[in-house]
Amino acid sequence: MIKHANANRALKRRLGRSVDTSEKGCWAASFDSSKLFFLPCAVITPRQEEEIGEVLTLANKYGVPVTVRGRGTTLMGSAAPVAGGWVIDMLKLNRIRIDDESGMAHVQAGATTGDVQRAADGAGWFYPPDPSSKEFCTIGGNIACNAGGMHGGKYGVTRDFVICLRGYLPTGEAVQWGTATKKNASGFNLRDLWIGGEGMLGVVTGAVLKLVPKPVSRWTLLTAFKTETAAVNAARKLFKQRVQPAICEFLDRESVHCAESATGRSVFQGQNDRAVILLEMAGSVSEVKEQSKTVRAWAKDHAVAYRVARDRDAAEQLWEVRRKCSGAMFELGDSKLNEDIVIPMRSYSKFITFLRKLKTSSGLAIPTFGHLADGNLHVNIMYHRDDPKESKIAEETVALLMKTVVELGGAISGEHGIGLAKTPFLRIQYSAAEVKAMQAVKNALDPKGVLNPGKMFEVFEMWKHQKMTIHLPWDHK
Ligand SMILES: Cc1cc2nc3c(=O)[nH]c(=O)nc-3n(C[C@H](O)[C@H](O)[C@H](O)COP(=O)(O)OP(=O)(O)OC[C@H]3O[C@@H](n4cnc5c(N)ncnc54)[C@H](O)[C@@H]3O)c2cc1C
């Protein structure tokens, strides 16, 4: 018997052309970038925001699980419909309007981050949150995961740019959290509850986003260090001088080797086997000029070598290094546990020491890179899935990593969220009372538990589940 057959019929009667129950349509919505596979029984692609309220009302009536999908770029399995049911695909809700006077972008949740950035840029404004997946991922997905990116240290993450939200409660009622004004102190701030809510507390249909003046000048510098410890200690000294790089990307030696193997070029000619930091200063001409002087002096004092990009093309070549390192890691193992932990600056050097020992004790390659200005490091545990011994070591290694991160005062996720992949570690970060409070919020807003069930609180051991073999548009070649 087809699951939810009555509910599907009611859905089709109500929303007709927006509903797809075909095998092909359901298959396309059955996975996200985690490559875990769970078949839904209908996909709704609303053309009007109101349709979402109707879907949720029916879901509550018939007890059908609902998962919202931006573009499915999450690596955590948070958009995978683990309980089946219906998927709401936000693809067609993608309008963008720039309020030039107030410096705000009025966007529908299905607009991609890249399109929002281009619209802002066209009007002389700048929208800084820049997940590397920005040409694919949506503003709704960014809000649900509180997405970050390389600009986090100077500008902040998605949360810092959301002025107000509108959408639907899991029960199907329309709500708006906040107003399109720069100030609002009216009532509880439920807007911030939705940001990072991972699509479990409501469906975002639209947002008003803060824009900042476009930086007119940029200056890019590559620095090389003998060791990872030397690199992170040097970065801390730079921050103490009140320098705020727009980007400050660290690559450990293993990541540098990956980038070199991907590009076939030396990352820093004449400097073999070095950890590197790529810096970009951005702002007004005078601001960048002033800061670049300080940074150059810092590089002279602390780096073994440094190179300033002559122009934007040269800078782009340096950024290519950063972009390419991640894909090349699959030469070190066919599977990756891709962690996006956050470490407080004071613990940088302790963490680097821990990581060095972890690499030795596990025998696994663990290339690590990330954003030093906000402590968000991408730790990539590489292993071979068909090797039971390596898989077991990878599982133990990630658990030890998470425990240490929390002991050092850090966070188990800085930008990807919990989804399914990080559920085994939620209780390392939060006490029983804290998890209970989160569950109480979920139950209050979603008494029938229809919206994105099975995520966050129920432990899901990702490494025990078969993944699909599929190449997604954003996967590295
Ligand atoms: C190559 C690559 C690079 C990446 N780089 C970064 C990076 O630099 N920084 C970073 O932060 N992340 C990064 N990510 C992760 C991912 O792109 C982000 O988490 C992104 O925010 C997900 O957006 P999406 O539209 O694809 O959402 P999806 O993956 O479709 O969904 C993610 C979660 O958001 C929920 N959701 C989606 N839309 C809505 C909505 N309208 N209302 C309520 N809930 C909703 C879903 O239910 C799900 O829980 C990267 C991913 C890839 C594949």
Name the residue with the closest Cα to ligand 1, atom 23.
Answer: 141
Name the residue with the closest Cα to ligand 1, atom 13.
Answer: 131
**Which of the four CATH numbers 3.40.50.300, 3.50.50.60, 3.30.465.10, 3.30.1490.20 does domain 96-213 have?**
3.30.465.10
Q: Is the CB of 134 under 6 A from ligand 1?
A: no
Both tokens assigned to 317: 């070549």
- Is the pLDDT at 22 greater than 80? The verdict is yes
CA–centroid distance, 140 to ligand 1, in Å, is 8
- Is the pLDDT at 470 greater than 70? The verdict is yes
Q: For the chain, how many residues are written?
A: 477
Q: For residue 412, what pLDDT is reported?
A: 98
Q: For residue 142, what pLDDT is reported?
A: 98
Adjacency order of strands within the sheet including 174-177: 96-99, 104-108, 203-210, 162-168, 174-177
Q: Is the CB of 104 under 6 A from ligand 1?
A: no
Are residues 275 and 224 in contact, defined by beta-carbon separation less than 8 angstroms? yes
- Is the pLDDT at 155 greater than 70? The verdict is yes
Q: Is the CB of 70 under 6 A from ligand 1?
A: yes
Query: Between β-strands 19-20 and 174-177, what pairing exists: parallel, antiparallel or unpaired?
Result: unpaired
Angstrom distance (rounded) from CA 220 to CA 297: 14
Angstrom distance (rounded) from CA 88 to CA 18: 10
Q: Read off the pLDDT of residues 175-187 as tens digits, 9 standing for 90 and up.
A: 999 999 999 999 9
- Report which ligand 1 atom has the smallest distance to the Cα of 474: 1
Average pLDDT over residues 415-436: 97
Q: pLDDT above 90 covers what percent of the chain?
A: 88
- Helix pair angle (312-328, 253-263), 10° resolution: 100
- Report which ligand 1 atom has the smallest distance to the Cα of 415: 11
Among 34, 35, 36, 69, name the best residue to mutate to test ligand 1's pocket (greatest count of ligand atoms within 8 A of Cβ): 69
- Is the pLDDT at 466 greater than 90? The verdict is no
Angstrom distance (rounded) from CA 278 to CA 324: 14
Asked if domains 96-213 and 217-417 share a fold, the reply is: no
Q: For residue 1, what pLDDT is reported?
A: 59
- Is the pLDDT at 477 greater than 70? The verdict is no
Q: Is the CB of 72 under 6 A from ligand 1?
A: yes
Q: Is the CB of 418 under 6 A from ligand 1?
A: no
Q: Is the CB of 204 under 6 A from ligand 1?
A: yes
Q: Is the CB of 140 under 6 A from ligand 1?
A: yes
Within 8 A by CB and 6+ apart from 224, the residues are: 268, 271, 274, 275, 276, 303, 304, 305, 306
**Which of the four CATH numbers 3.40.462.10, 3.40.50.300, 3.90.1150.30, 3.40.140.10 does domain 217-417 have?**
3.40.462.10
pLDDT classification of 317: cutoffs 50, 70, 90:
confident
Give the DSSP letter string of 368-413: EEEETTTTEEEEEEEE-TT-HHHHHHHHHHHHHHHHHHHHTT-BS-
Average pLDDT over residues 21-46: 97
Q: Hey, how many other C-beta atoms are within 10 angstroms of the C-beta on 462?
A: 19
- Is the pLDDT at 269 greater than 70? The verdict is yes
CA–centroid distance, 18 to ligand 1, in Å, is 23
- Is the pLDDT at 30 greater than 90? The verdict is yes
Average pLDDT over residues 211-233: 96
CA–centroid distance, 211 to ligand 1, in Å, is 20
Q: Name the DSSP class of 439.
A: H
Both tokens assigned to 410: 């850090």
Q: Name the DSSP class of 214.
A: P
Angstrom distance (rounded) from CA 399 to CA 362: 12
Residue range 5-91 forms a domain whose CATH class is: alpha beta
Among 44, 51, 68, name the best residue to mutate to test ligand 1's pocket (greatest count of ligand atoms within 8 A of Cβ): 68
Angstrom distance (rounded) from CA 323 to CA 300: 26
Q: Domain extents for the chain?
A: 5-91, 96-213, 217-417
Q: Read off the pLDDT of residues 361-371 as tens digits, 9 standing for 90 and up.
A: 999 999 999 99
Q: Is the CB of 416 under 6 A from ligand 1?
A: yes
CA–centroid distance, 240 to ligand 1, in Å, is 33
pLDDT classification of 469: cutoffs 50, 70, 90:
confident
Q: Is the CB of 446 under 6 A from ligand 1?
A: no
Indicate the burial class of 10 (C-beta count within 10 angstroms; 0-12, 13-18, 19 or more). middle
CA–centroid distance, 273 to ligand 1, in Å, is 34
| pTM for the whole structure | 0.96
Q: Is the CB of 130 under 6 A from ligand 1?
A: no
Give the DSSP letter string of 301-341: HH-SEEEE-SSHHHHHHHHHHHHHHHHHGGGS-SEEEEEEE
Q: Hey, how many other C-beta atoms are within 10 angstroms of the C-beta on 421?
A: 26
CA–centroid distance, 142 to ligand 1, in Å, is 5
Average pLDDT over residues 350-379: 97
Q: How many helices (H) and strands (E) does the chain have?
A: 15, 18
Average pLDDT over residues 257-278: 89
Q: Is the CB of 452 under 6 A from ligand 1?
A: yes
